[in-house]
Copies of this chain bind each other. A is one copy, B any other.
Amino acid sequence: MDKLQSVINRIRPLDQEAMRRAQARQDNLTKPKGSLGLLEELSVKVAGIQGVAQPRIRDKVIITMAGDHGVAAEGVSLFPQEVTVQMVYNFLRGGAAINVLARHVGARVVVVDLGVATDLEPHPELLVKKVAYGTKNMAQGPAMSREEAIQSIEAGIEIVESELSRGMDIVGTGDMGIGNTTSSSAIVAALTGAPVADVTGRGTGIDDERLAHKVRTIERALAVNRPDPADPLDVLAKVGGLEIGAIAGVVLGAAAHRRPVVIDGFISGAGALVAAGLAPQVKDYLIAAHLSVELGHRLVLERLGLTPLLNLSLRLGEGTGAALGISLVEAAVKVLDEMTTFADAGVSEAVE
């Protein structure tokens, strides 16, 4: 808890002077003012985050957190629980979507076991931060203890700190865990007060019948546990997931160390919502990669005050959307850094 509190205390507002200078430079580049839209805004935001007028992004990292969910026993997913561990091995072999997309954008993928239900074989690229062998079934009682929830967040902070030492100018969040849209919907319903049916989607692609069952299961979990909406740690502990707590930790840790955080889809959004509940200032450090088709993601982005960069009907997770988002942020920063000014190019300015 000391680590968590000290990281929260360390989060500062964006650097307004760096942002002012970045905006002034944008306005002198050889293009009509504002004509690169969100790319211009992104570059100014990253200037404020990094605290420099001409930011650069070299080391790009996607952290993919894996954890199992006791609620999977309720039959809320199309896939059996064993898929969590199978997909972790797939990540380590480089054959999953996140590997392909991270390679495409030049990011490294850090795979972390926060709470997979079985022990994993050691692998040089697997980070083990196991808090428990999966959460308990939230439909019957709390998913985890408050202490475990804090441990999962602190694990995320520790990962940020160790990745910073390897070089990390921007970080994207990712997740893997059968049952974790169920947990995320419960978190979002608890923290926002929205009806469960309004924030519960089809996850891996369930049909109407199973969706109705998923909604009822989440309603039961909320009724059994009565999480306190004003206490994000209570919500995370009672209906959350270990990988979701770790995502919240990445958000907090990256904000404390002034690095932009590119949020993937719905599960990452739920983690960011927990982080924003603990430290509202983190919102300034967040960039929403995309609008997921998972019902409820739009509400999460609204609550975080974020405009998604992409709308590609993605619903995979793993950090796949974040990878594409990171590339757009990098593009935005390069525009600010590498374009020529009107004066340097000898191009006439607008007659206004």
Binding site for B on A (CB under 8 A): 29-39, 78-80, 82-83, 86-87, 89-90, 93, 95-97, 99-101, 103-105, 203-205, 293, 309-316, 320, 324, 327-328, 330-331, 334-335, 338-340, 344-352
Contact = CB atoms under 8 A, between A and B. Distances in A.
Given A83-B347, A87-B347, A37 B313 contact: yes
Given A93-B340, A314-B35, A351-B78, A104 B205 contact: no
B314 A347 contact: no
A31 B347 CA distance: 49
Contacts of A86: 345-348
Given A35-B205, A35-B316, 9 more contacts: A30-B97, A31-B97, A31-B316, A32-B203, A35-B314, A95-B345, A96-B340, A100-B334, A101-B335
Interface centre among A35, A83, A331, A344 (most CB of B within 10 A): A35
10 closest A-B pairs by beta carbon, nearest first, are A37-B313, A95-B340, A32-B204, A35-B316, A78-B350, A38-B312, A86-B347, A100-B338, A90-B345, A104-B331
A313 to B, nearest CB: 3
Contacts of A338: 95, 99-100, 103
B346 A36 contact: no
A311 B314 contact: no
State the copy count for this chain: 2
A328 to B, nearest CB: 7
Contacts of A32: 78-79, 203-205, 315-316
Given A78-B32, A79-B351, A205-B33, A39 B309 contact: no
19 contacts: A31-B96, A32-B204, A32-B205, A32-B315, A33-B205, A35-B204, A37-B293, A38-B312, A38-B314, A39-B312, A83-B348, A89-B345, A100-B335, A101-B335, A104-B331, A104-B334, A309-B312, A311-B311, A327-B327
A346 B89 CA distance: 9
A36 B318 CA distance: 11
A105 B310 CA distance: 17
A320 B203 CA distance: 34
A101 B29 CA distance: 14
A240 to B, nearest CB: 22
Contacts of A345: 86, 89-90, 93, 95-96
Contacts of A344: 95
A288 B275 CA distance: 36
A255 B313 CA distance: 27
B339 A328 contact: no
Contacts of A204: 32, 35, 350
Contacts of A320: 36
A90 B348 CA distance: 12
A111 to B, nearest CB: 14
